[in-house]
Amino acid sequence: MRSLFATNHETWQMGTEVVASYKFPGGSLEDLPFNKGDILTIIKATRDPNWYQAKNSYGREGMIPANYVQKRQEVSLQTMPWYHGKVSREEAESLLAGHMIGSFLVRENGHYPGDYTLSLVIPGDVVEHYRVLQTNNKVEVDGGDLQFDTLLELVEHYEKDADGLCTRLSKPLWKTGNNFTTVNFKDFERGGWVINAEFLDIKEPIGKGEFGDVYKGCYNQQLVAVKQLKDRNRAAQTFLKEASVMTSMRHPNLVQLIGVVLGENIFLVTEFMGKGNLVEYLRSRGRSVITKRDQINFATDTCAGMAYLEAKNLVHRDLAARNVLVHEDGTAKVSDFGLAKFESFSQEGGRFPIKWTAPEAIRKNVFTSKSDVWSFGILLWEIYSFGRVPYPRIPLAEVVRHVERGYRMETPDGCPPEIYRIMRHTWDMEPNHRPLFQDILNMLHNLRATTV
């Protein structure tokens, strides 16, 4: 019976994550039953290319049919170099002045937050401005008949056909240094990341995120954390960009994405971290509970997650104990890395967590892995001070001035001198003089081996 399955997929390696497309009740004791939407991990191939040995989220192992599951695919971001962000009508006309017919750019709509404007040079050397509506996770030119999943798809369509515009889009006006991106909702479906809302049971709230509330939940009998998007018309793209980055990140010290729910409500579902964030964990337990072994474990776990991001050329930008979560088994995992940016990233007009941010990032608005290293030094200080707020007794407005004049925090009580030396190394004013995360990780591994 097993030979009836047709082989139509690549060979999957150990550790490959697959998602069930259909329910499989199993036909023998050696089979691993699963429901549609279950996430399974390949253990090894078998002599029959249509069957694999796999395990489920509970660790149970068994045989699964390849044609009942699909490999999860990374969801890629697509660049939009013609997007100019906050540009006024007058500025857009000035930028496009003298350019050929069909030249265009896309910008934020200054009167309708969440919408966009397509500014286009039409015959007569006139710039026409078309409002682009964003509703129900779709975009469309105001007055047009067609809807698109993303701005990129809208632009690509009108590059082929004017279709109601005064002229076809022919020459994008690129913004220098633009790293604005978009993500296609359908890519989550094609990649096997969409969760059926029927299998998701949302329970009590456990916190607040950048886009909305965070809830404890249950998905296929597994505890999960559920982030809900409040205003999907304005923030859906940003919310799903976080999810798209998470689809490519697989590391035991990064909080893992389980899937997304797309529909009237949009939810981002991640693994549940039962002991909450690290800073509250440190403060609530204190010296009477948290051991030197716990501290070096938290430091090493966090550094391992950051070394992985560093190897991927990704910058976290907001590394702090509040953004590290603690699993029930005591493992620390970096969270909120989904909005990490590729090296190097400039945060236009952004607000910084001053006490954790490297001086050059504050002054120049440029974030790199070396600015993350500075933040990791502050996080180490948090761990070894049991969650104290950095730079105690120094007013927030004075922190940057003190740091630039050479001030560095003193070693926390009881902190091993080797750990404090790492902190001081991460706080070098010259970014290139700071160590790599991988170098710090090697040092922490050595220290952990001798910590009891």
What's 107's domain CATH number? 3.30.505.10
- Same domain, yes or no, for 235 and 359? no
- Same domain, yes or no, for 302 and 435? yes
Asked whether the beta carbons of 376 and 306 are under 8 A apart, the reply is yes
Token readout for 254 is 């990064």
Domain termination residue (choose one: 71, 97, 114): 71
**Could you list the residue range(s) of the whole structural domain that residue 42 is in?**
16-71
Determine the Cα–Cα distance for residues 59 and 29; give it in Å rounded to an integer.
Answer: 16
Encode the chain (452 residues) as per-residue pLDDT tens digits.
454 444 555 688 888 889 898 999 998 999 999 988 888 999 999 999 999 999 997 889 999 999 999 888 888 877 888 999 889 999 999 999 999 999 999 999 988 888 999 999 999 999 999 999 988 778 999 988 899 988 889 999 999 999 999 999 999 999 876 567 777 778 888 888 998 888 899 999 998 877 788 999 998 778 999 998 876 655 677 778 888 889 988 899 999 999 999 887 889 999 999 999 999 999 999 999 999 999 999 999 999 999 999 999 999 999 999 999 999 999 999 998 765 664 444 444 445 789 999 999 999 888 999 999 999 999 999 999 999 999 999 999 999 999 999 999 999 999 999 999 999 999 999 999 999 999 999 999 999 999 98
318 is catalytic: yes
CATH of the domain at 45: 2.30.30.40
Annotated binding-site residue numbers for ATP = 227
Q: What is residue 263's three-state secondary structure?
A: coil
4 lies in some domain: no
Instruction: Name the domain count of the chain.
Output: 4
Determine the Cα–Cα distance for residues 37 and 248; give it in Å rounded to an integer.
Answer: 19
Determine the Cα–Cα distance for residues 360 and 354; give it in Å rounded to an integer.
Answer: 11
7 lies in some domain: no
Token readout for 376 is 């990791």
Annotated binding-site residue numbers = 227
- Same domain, yes or no, for 281 and 424? yes
Q: What is residue 314's three-state secondary structure?
A: strand
201 lies in some domain: yes
- Same domain, yes or no, for 161 and 214? no
- Same domain, yes or no, for 156 and 91? yes
Domain termination residue (choose one: 271, 303, 327): 271
- Same domain, yes or no, for 366 and 223? no
436 lies in some domain: yes
Domain termination residue (choose one: 254, 271, 288): 271
Up-side HSE of residue 416: CA atoms within 13 Å toward CB?
A: 18
Determine the Cα–Cα distance for residues 284 and 290; give it in Å rounded to an integer.
Answer: 10
CATH of the domain at 237: 3.30.200.20
10 lies in some domain: no
Indicate which residue of 187, 294, 318, 372 is catalytic.
Answer: 318
Token readout for 58 is 């509970």
Q: For the chain, what percentages of helix, strand and coil (3-state, to nearest 5) are there?
A: 30, 25, 45
- Same domain, yes or no, for 141 and 240? no
Determine the Cα–Cα distance for residues 357 and 427; give it in Å rounded to an integer.
Answer: 11
285 lies in some domain: yes
Question: What residues does 366 pair with on adjacent strands?
Answer: 346
Asked whether the beta carbons of 169 and 156 are under 8 A apart, the reply is no
2 lies in some domain: no
- Same domain, yes or no, for 283 and 388? yes
